Structure 1
Amino acid sequence: MGKKAVLIGAMDTKGQEYRFVRDTLEACGVETFVIDTGVLGDPVFQPDVAADEVARAGGSSIEELRRLNDRGTAVAVMTRGAAGLIAGLEARGIVGGMFGMGGTAGTTVAASAMQALPIGVPKLLVSTVASGNTRPYVGVKDIMMMYSVVDIAGINRLSRRILSNAAYALAGMIRQQELEEEAADDKVTLGITMFGVTTPCATRVRERLEEKGYDLLVFHATGTGGLAMEELIKAGYIKGVADITTTELADELVGGIFTAGPNRLEAAGSVGVPQVVSVGALDMVNFGPPETVPAQFKDRNFYQHNPTTTLMRTTVAENRELGRILAGKLNAAASPAVVLFPKAGVSLLDMDGKAFDGKVERQALYDGIKQHLRSDIRMLEMDTDINDPVFADTIADHLLRLMDGVRQA
């Protein structure tokens, strides 16, 4: 079976609309594969995978879901089932792209299935909630969300145009991937983390590594950036990491808005990817506008980065704990790692005369790492700030050595 456009959704309540999209895709020369997630009634047309198969993959059955008559339970079951089935289809090489549509329930089910696909597989979701907060649906995957404008309820003058545009867009993505014969690219891909306050360092490291023939992916450490990098490491895209900016650990510890969750800084070590790690921007926790900063922090040291971003200086105690956390994550790594510590400042704000200059805080961070880091993991401290070209060159040199070691192994 060749690659197809997989359509996933409720073929009972949205069957008319899905049939329209299916027919439009096939008129464009794109084969389709339809998965029914509807639980209320019979599908408008025959799908390739029936709703009961999806329900069973999610741990229940259509009969049970109809008997319970509970919308929340049904959505949860079909969401689990859809994600599991899609992963199986992807493993079989069937999925050339995916299409979904709906309101909150349909969007939730389709988005969950799309998140089970690798980055790079076309994913298009027409949704009534696409003009709001889309992070719960997109996550760290390349899901394209299109606002439906009107409810998805029948084929009318407006919905016909919107759904046609969506189908044409997906068809174009799938057909172009089929037509392209990508030039052989033997470049190894590496990942770098950066923040505005570590940009000079990240830029110089990127340029140094690109000179050596590596392909570089740069991630803005705003929570989703760290999550995206970790996802790509686990998926096998990224073969080495210059984790310059580990600031997301501070937001996770203290309660800032740029947390990447409790598992940040673990992917590379878990899959055997070499990493050079530094402490970029661990001098700060991120919040929104000043009025959004929690009241318990009112007496802390703040810096207004811009009207929508308020930075808060981390304390001595927080830095000591951040050092312990960072060391603990590297201690669990099954891959080579090097830690580089800039003793003169961890960001553009943590330098002599700057808003977050903190020698005592930096020492606490250093001590936290040094006291807990495995003895066989090298830790190199330098009398420069993180954005000094010498420090950046040292990061690049160590990562190049680690990558050479991997090639020679």
Structure 2
Amino acid sequence: MDKRILIVGTYDTKSDELSYIADVIRAQGGVALSMDVSVLGQAPHPTDWSKHDVALAGGGTIAQAIASGDENFAMQLMARGAALLGSRLHAEGRFDGVLVLGGSMGTDLALDLCAALPVGVPKYIVSTVSFSPMIPPERLAADVQMILWAGGLYGLNPICKASLSQAAGAVLGAARAVEPPQSRRPMIGMTSFGKTVLRYMVTLKPELERRGYDLAVFHATGMGGRAFETLAEQGAFVAVMDFAPQEVSNHLFGSAISAGPNRMISAGRAGVPQMVAPGCYDLVDVVGWHPAPEAFRDAPSHAHNRLLSSFVLNADQRRQVAREIAAKLAQAAAPVTIFLPEHGCNEWDRAAGPLSDPEALAAFCDEMRAVTPPNARLISLDAHINDDAFAAAVLAQFDQWVASGVVPPGHR
């Protein structure tokens, strides 16, 4: 049997659009299954899982949802039901990929449903509000795909068919082609930026692989950190090397480039051992085409590209960052080691570099030593984060963790 795609939406108002998607999937040889998440109206045709099935899975009934007179309560009930029912159905092997269609209501539900499914399950959200700033990063599943539903507010038309047909083909193609993560080797999660600013992964990746581990490196520009946190919380990693926590600084100072308030918390709460270093802690990234924030108007900056600019933090701001990092790591339920490179934490802040501020760096290091929580070990390094000495110190600590059983042995 070809791949089975679960199509989710409000079949009382969007039956034509959802049926069109199903027809495209079937025309391509796939199997289309349906889940109705509507509340008030009736689907014109039976669905594989009715709105009553969804409400029951969410711990309520459609009658209760209607009686509440509160559309937000009703949709949260249906979102909870869709997530729990969808998770169970996938665990039972009932479908291979999911496509959810909707406006803001349907998207709210879709985010919960997709977050409930494991990485490797193709999950597509076709929405009139795709990529909107109203979608908080912490609600995005690590591998969710979003497609803008152009011209799709009401009824079928040639413009929206172009979006819907592509979405149908995309989810079916993804279900056929996906290679779910099934490595027999333990996985390490790492955060970083590109090699022009942080380089440790170039040394660490082959060394960790030689020791029998796989390494997944996440680009810490908001969405990457969010995916990193999600997978850490799900237990995907036997240890993390969180060496680019700039998203903590971004969130602390109100940048839109955020991974959410739980950045640098999920791994510790899940009992995952953490190695932490302050890569790019001294910078706050902002959207490059936005006006410069008032707090950073006179600060040195670096325009990375038209999308992204970075502003340099002063000494007091860096002390705030140190306290924020310490407070987050204090919540950890597993070993924590903090590496403190005293000569700088990104390529631009080396001595005589364009963003160098030795006094502010010293202020951060002093504050970090003062506030390191009792559950963490602090290792000060007479080195820059991009020096070989940093990578060597990380590997020495990692090998000690393996030898002592903190991290399970690798598979060679």
Name the TM tier (shorter chain).
0.7 to 0.9
Output the CA distance in 2 between the equivalents of 1:136 and 1:266. 17
Distance 1:223 1:183, change over 3 A: closer
Aligned to 1:191: 189
**One-letter code aligned to 1:195:** F
Residue-by-residue CA offset, 1:167-225 (whole Å, 9 max, x unaligned): 34333333445xx8x89842221111112464222322223323333221111111221
Aligned to 2:384: 385
What is the Cα deviation at residue 388 of structure 1? Answer: 1.0
Native 8 Å contact 1:140 1:224 kept in 2 = no
Output the CA distance in 1 between the equivalents of 2:181 and 2:83. 32
Residue-by-residue CA offset, 1:352-393 (whole Å, 9 max, x unaligned): 112332233222222322223244632211111111122123
Output the CA distance in 1 between the equivalents of 2:373 and 2:389. 26
Native 8 Å contact 2:111 2:140 kept in 1 = no
Aligned to 2:63: 63
Residue pairs, 1:245-260, within 5 angstroms: 245-260=244-259
Residue-by-residue CA offset, 1:220-245 (whole Å, 9 max, x unaligned): 11122111111111222222212111
Tell me the number of residue pairs that the alignment of Structure 1 and Structure 2 aligns: 405
Aligned to 1:278: 277
Distance 1:7 1:308, change over 3 A: closer
Secondary structure of 1:292's partner? coil
Aligned to 1:173: 174
Aligned to 2:328: 329
What is the Cα deviation at residue 394 of structure 1? Answer: 1.9
Native 8 Å contact 2:37 2:78 kept in 1 = yes
Aligned to 2:5: 5
Distance 1:222 1:64, change over 3 A: same
Distance 1:120 1:352, change over 3 A: same
Deviates more, 1:67-76 or 1:297-306: 67-76
**One-letter code aligned to 1:146:** I
Aligned to 1:226: 225
Output the CA distance in 2 between the equivalents of 1:387 and 1:101. 45
Deviates more, 1:189-198 or 1:17-26: 17-26
**One-letter code aligned to 2:146:** M
What is the Cα deviation at residue 407 of structure 1? Answer: 2.5
What is the Cα deviation at residue 129 of structure 1? Answer: 3.7
What is the Cα deviation at residue 134 of structure 1? Answer: 8.7
Native 8 Å contact 1:7 1:33 kept in 2 = yes
Residue pairs, 1:286-365, within 5 angstroms: 286-289=285-288, 292-365=291-364
Output the CA distance in 2 between the equivalents of 1:244 and 1:4. 40
Output the CA distance in 2 between the equivalents of 1:305 and 1:184. 36
Aligned to 2:400: 401
Native 8 Å contact 1:55 1:62 kept in 2 = yes
Native 8 Å contact 1:16 1:44 kept in 2 = no
Whether 2:128 is the aligned partner of 1:125: answer no
**One-letter code aligned to 1:112:** D
Native 8 Å contact 2:142 2:226 kept in 1 = no
Which runs of no fewer than 5 residues in structure 2 stay unpaired? Answer: none
Secondary structure of 1:100's partner? strand
Output the CA distance in 2 between the equivalents of 1:183 and 1:54. 29
Give percent identity, aligned residues only. 32
Residue-by-residue CA offset, 1:242-272 (whole Å, 9 max, x unaligned): 2111111211222223332222112222222
Output the CA distance in 2 between the equivalents of 1:332 and 1:338. 14
Aligned to 1:240: 239
Distance 1:87 1:317, change over 3 A: same
Residue pairs, 1:46-195, within 5 angstroms: 46-58=46-58, 61-66=61-66, 71-130=71-130, 136=136, 139-151=140-152, 163-176=164-177, 185-195=183-193
Native 8 Å contact 1:240 1:403 kept in 2 = no
Output the CA distance in 2 between the equivalents of 1:303 and 1:171. 42
Secondary structure of 1:75's partner? helix
Distance 1:272 1:62, change over 3 A: closer
The normalised TM-score by structure 1 is: 0.86
What is the Cα deviation at residue 295 of structure 1? Answer: 2.0
Output the CA distance in 2 between the equivalents of 1:54 and 1:8. 11
Native 8 Å contact 1:274 1:399 kept in 2 = no
Which runs of no fewer than 5 residues in structure 1 stay unpaired? Answer: none
Residue pairs, 1:17-56, within 5 angstroms: 17-26=17-26, 30-56=30-56
The normalised TM-score by structure 2 is: 0.85
Output the CA distance in 2 between the equivalents of 1:299 and 1:332. 35
